[in-house]
Structure 1
Amino acid sequence: MASLTRFINTTSISDANLAQATRFFSTFGGTDKALMILQYFPLVILPLLPQASATGLAIKPRGTDRLRISLQALSSTVGDSRVLIRLFGLIPILQWIRSIQKRYAARKASNSEINEKKEDVGPKRWLSDENLEAIQALSILAYYPMEHTYYLAMKGVVPLAVPRIVQIARWSCRCWAIYVVLSLVSLRRRYNLLKASDDSPEIKAKQYSSQKLQALVDLSYLPLTVHWSLPDGAWTSSFPTGVFGTLAAIGQIATSWKAVAAP
């Protein structure tokens, strides 16, 4: 205990940092995104390791072989654990959909002159913010059950043929891709509103920072969802998957870390 205390005291970790880290890892998002780094970063390293020669003679040390096996096992194990955790991810989605329904009902009930005038200002969008959010929620609502189904089927829990499992997995990623595209559309709209607002430079800078992180996450997820949606994928190496997955994790970790900062 004394050694541990001396170690903590000699590091630059403050009580505030420890408290923030505790709050971060006590949330689902914090733990999941930290695990996401462990899942995707090994996929960046694996293609960079020396390969065996075409003649079959080993030109790499045994230590590299062990490292390759360990990294593959780490990525696979962490990936499985993240899917298991997401088995309960449908609950907040249902809560989100209910909140959308309540807001829509309240907006419809308060169909006053003021609201009508606001709706008449400016050109009408091809997709209203309310409908955009509703489609987002429905797309991710479709994604989760399909992801759970194909994962449990792969593990032998749900009896499905392999072609059906592959088909379900592909369609789940297509639903996820719809969500990501709509998230980028929504982000662009929020950026335009913020740019035209009269908020102080400090408030704008803070919101711009959050929007940049969200853009990093969405633009990292987009190629991944497209890759997993295609029958033959968009690439064969694990390197792009590892890079995009790691970038998405970094963006979400930064967002979650800020969210649990002390006021």
Structure 2
Amino acid sequence: MLGGLISIEPRISSAVPGPEAPHDAYNLESKFAPPTRNSLRKASIPISKLDGFISHLNRLIHTRDGHDSVVLFLACATQLAVSILETPTPEAVQKVSIKLGQSIPRTFSSIISSVLSTPTLASLLSTKPAYKLRLVERLRALLGVLNDWHTMSRLWGLITMWMLTKEFITSSTDLELDKKEETMSPHIQKAKRTIAVTQILSLTGFFVFDNAILLSMRGVLKWSKKPQSKFQGWCARCWCIYLCAELGRLYHARIPELHNGEKEDVKSRSEWKKKVFQVSAWLPLSIHYVAHNALLPEPIAALLATYAEFITVKGLWEATEEAI
């Protein structure tokens, strides 16, 4: 039986090389040079960059504003991707593609048709709608998680409004601030306080209606869908009023009397422009919500929300960059 067994061990040649073999033919030492410090340093650069990015992101999301802004930005970006994937190709684009195909010479059209008729590409094109549908389902599931995540943070909005109201009341009785406002004209002082009160009241109303909607949808408050739809309309109106007041505040911030003749630095002007762009993106979106999502196409609405939140996240990212 031993003679019938087949050995699976590799053959070992004689340790003595033949006369025609070179002397170092059986030298088993590795001829690869050990890695140098420069190669190790180059290999560690991507890891250090990844570590720097994760550390920076960790600092950003450990603040409440940063955490909420990142979650909302991801939700808006996911909604944008879903709306783009679900948007059918417009008829105008289809007509242009048909005319373009007719203008191609016959030789090229025959080549293109032969390429498209290959089994691999044909199967890929036939399964594209199925992959698209699966991707939309996965993105909608992710959007639900992000919305639930952001919902929990919005429930604490009334506490923030309490602190802002307290700060406004205490600042109105501050003597040092009163001395600064004495240099302003009376109508500017009145406009400034009116804008602040409008923003506080509108944001308070927004969070009251928003919390009522969220709690009733989760069954904490046993309300029917009719008051929920009414509260959604009032919630959107309060948000729209706040944005209009914010535009007024930004406009009054450019009045020379508020700066006492001092020149504004480049950084402050850049921040002012970013806020104007952000509010300008949110304002038509809020009107779209007031009109029950009947004003803008879904991809445009999602694009405006994503752009507005991108400005917020970018500003917070730059603010935490100094700690690197």
What's the TM-score, normalizing by structure 1? Answer: 0.80
Change (3 A) 1:115 1:9: closer
1:143-162 equivalences under 5 Å are 143-162=206-225
Aligned to 1:63: 131
Matched, 1:101 2:101: no
Q: Distance in 1 between matches of 2:71 and 2:181?
A: 45
Aligned to 1:228: 289
Q: Distance in 2 between matches of 1:34 and 1:206?
A: 23
Change (3 A) 1:83 1:104: same
On the 8 A contact 1:40/1:241 being kept in 2, the answer is: no
Q: Distance in 2 between matches of 1:175 and 1:52?
A: 34
Aligned to 1:89: 157
Q: Distance in 1 between matches of 2:153 and 2:181?
A: 42
Change (3 A) 1:253 1:232: closer
Query: Cα distance, 1:77 vs. partner?
Result: 2.4
State the secondary structure of the residue aligned to 2:321: coil
Q: Distance in 2 between matches of 1:99 and 1:88?
A: 17
Change (3 A) 1:115 1:232: closer
Choose the corresponding residue for 1:25, options 53, 56, 61: 61
- Unaligned runs of 5+ residues in structure 1 are 1-5
User: With CA pairs under 8 Å and 6+ residues apart, which has the higher RCO, 1 or 2?
Assistant: 1
Change (3 A) 1:206 1:168: same
Root mean square deviation, CA, Å: 3.2
State the secondary structure of the residue aligned to 2:316: helix
Higher mean alpha-carbon deviation, 187-196 vs 140-149, is at 187-196
On the 8 A contact 1:187/1:215 being kept in 2, the answer is: yes
On the 8 A contact 2:60/2:66 being kept in 1, the answer is: yes
Higher mean alpha-carbon deviation, 177-186 vs 10-19, is at 10-19
Choose the corresponding residue for 1:10, options 46, 67, 71: 46
On the 8 A contact 1:177/1:225 being kept in 2, the answer is: yes
Change (3 A) 1:61 1:94: same
- Unaligned runs of 5+ residues in structure 2 are 1-41, 90-125
Q: Alignment identity in percent?
A: 20
What's the TM-score, normalizing by structure 2? Answer: 0.66
On the 8 A contact 1:33/1:253 being kept in 2, the answer is: yes
